[in-house]
Chains A and B, each alone.
Chain A
Amino acid sequence: MHGRQTSEQWSRNRSAISHDWLSAKHFIGRVSRLLRAVEGSVEGSESELSQIQKLRSEWFQGRHAIEDLINGLELAMSPNAALDRYPLRLLPNERREWIGKLIHRLWLRRCHVFELMVEARVQLKAADDEFSGILATTNNLSIGSESERDLSASRLSALLATMHRLHSAVARFPARIKTT
Chain B
Amino acid sequence: MTLSSLPKLLVIDDVLGRRHSDRPNEERANICAHFLLRDVTDDEKTWPRQTVRQPIAEAVFHRGQSPICSRVGDLVENDIDSVLQTVSDRWRDESKTPWSLVLLDLSFYTGQVTSESDAKLKGMPEGSLADREPLDYFGLRILERLHFEFPDLPIVILSSRSRAEVALQFATHGALGFIGSDAEDGPKVLAEAIDRHALIPDPQDAIIGHSRPLMRALRAARQCALNNQNLLIRGESGTGKELIAEYVNRMRKGSADSRPFAVVNSGALTGDLYYSELFGHCKGAFTDAKSNRIGMIEQANGGDLFLDEVANMPPTVQNGLLRVLEEGIVMPLGGQAGDSMKVEVRFVTATHANLELMIAEGAFREDLYERLHRGGMIFVPPLRERHRDLPALTEYFVRMAEAEMGARRRVVTAEAVTKCQEYDWPRNVRQLQNCMYQAVSTFPDLEYLLAKHISLPQPSVRRSRVPEDPSVPAHPLTEIIRRLQDADFDTMSDEELRGRLPQLEETTARLVVRYLRAGLARHRQPDGRLFLQPALQFMTGNPTLAATAAYDIVKRLVKRAHLDAATLASDEVLKQACEKSEKGRVRGKATTGKSGTPGRRDRRGA
Contacts and interface: CB of A to CB of B under 8 A. Distances in A.
Contact of A45 (B27, B31, B48): B48
B50 A23 contact: no
B48 A24 contact: no
A163 B599 CA distance: 62
Contacts of A40: 53
B527 interface: no
Contact of A24 (B30, B36, B162): B30
B510 to A, nearest CB: 49
Interface string B21-49: 00000110111011110000000000010
A155 interface: no
Interface in A2-17: 15-16
A43 B27 contact: no
Given A24-B182, A161-B184, A41 B31 contact: no
B51 A33 contact: no
Given A33-B29, A33-B30, A41-B36, A23 B182 contact: yes
Contact of A33 (B34, B53, B181, B183): B34
Nearest to B186: A24
SS of A interface (majority) = helix
B107 interface: yes
A32 B53 contact: no
Interface string A80-91: 000000000000
A19 B121 CA distance: 13
A40 B34 CA distance: 13
B572 to A, nearest CB: 37
Given A20-B121, A24-B181, A42 B53 contact: yes
Contacts of B34: 24, 28-29, 32-33, 36
B557 to A, nearest CB: 49
A164 B184 contact: yes
B339 to A, nearest CB: 55
Nearest to B28: A25
Contacts of B121: 20, 26
Contact of A26 (B30, B33, B36, B186): B30
Nearest to A21: B120
Nearest to B52: A42
A26 B29 contact: no
A25 B184 contact: no
B16 interface: yes
A92 interface: no
Interface in A92-142: none
A16 B53 CA distance: 32
Contacts of B15: 25
A25 B31 contact: yes
Nearest to B13: A25
A25 B53 contact: no
Contacts of B16: 25
Contact of B182 (A28, A37, A42, A45): A28
A29 B53 contact: no
Contacts of B51: 42-44
Contacts of B460: none
B161 interface: yes
B132 interface: yes
B482 to A, nearest CB: 42
Interface in B91-132: 107, 120-121, 132
19 contacts: A15-B132, A19-B161, A23-B160, A24-B182, A24-B186, A25-B16, A26-B30, A30-B26, A30-B30, A32-B33, A33-B34, A36-B36, A41-B53, A42-B50, A45-B48, A45-B50, A164-B182, A164-B183, A167-B182
Interface of A: 15-16, 18-20, 22-26, 28-30, 32-33, 36-37, 40-45, 161, 164, 167, 171, 175
- Give 9 nearest A-B pairs by CB, closest first: A29-B30, A33-B33, A44-B50, A164-B184, A25-B27, A32-B34, A43-B51, A19-B160, A42-B33
Given A24-B182, A37-B33, A42-B51, 20 more contacts: A16-B120, A19-B160, A20-B120, A20-B121, A23-B160, A24-B30, A25-B16, A25-B27, A25-B30, A25-B181, A26-B121, A28-B182, A29-B27, A29-B33, A30-B26, A33-B34, A42-B53, A43-B51, A45-B48, A164-B184
